[in-house]
Amino acid sequence: MMRHLVVVTAMVFAGCTQGLRVGEVPPPTKEFLSDAARKELQLPSPGEPTTANATDMKYVGSIGNDVRQTVEDFLKPSKVKASIYAARPVGAYLLLWVSFAPTVMDGGTELIYSVEKKKIVGYFNGGGISG
């Protein structure tokens, strides 16, 4: 009986980490920046609303396909089509506002991208209404 319980538990855990629902974002990784590191780098804390402005929406046109591919790869487990609609450089990082429309009309996420590491290193609060 105990052996079956361990196998079932492992299968449930594995399924949770790989099979996200459409529009659900992956959980934070160990590489995500701490609150202290965010403060030092002048990046927004997870709870601090940071809304995109017209300049951010224009700036998105200047980001490369490598950034777009990184976002797509990061969100791949959620099986949702995503598009970056705004971006803001902050030091060696980019704040990225990502929309899941038209798949999830009121869905999206906000990601912090490290230019140096070429990976997603955090989430932030885009200040929009979600749910």
Summarised one tens digit per residue, pLDDT across range 46-70 is 888 999 999 999 999 999 999 999 9
Assign 8 a pLDDT band (cuts: 50, 70, 90).
very low
Strand 83-90's sheet: what is its strand order?
83-90, 93-99, 108-114, 119-123
Rounded to two decimals, the pTM is 0.74
Q: Is the pLDDT of residue 124 over 90?
A: yes
Q: Is the pLDDT of residue 23 over 90?
A: no
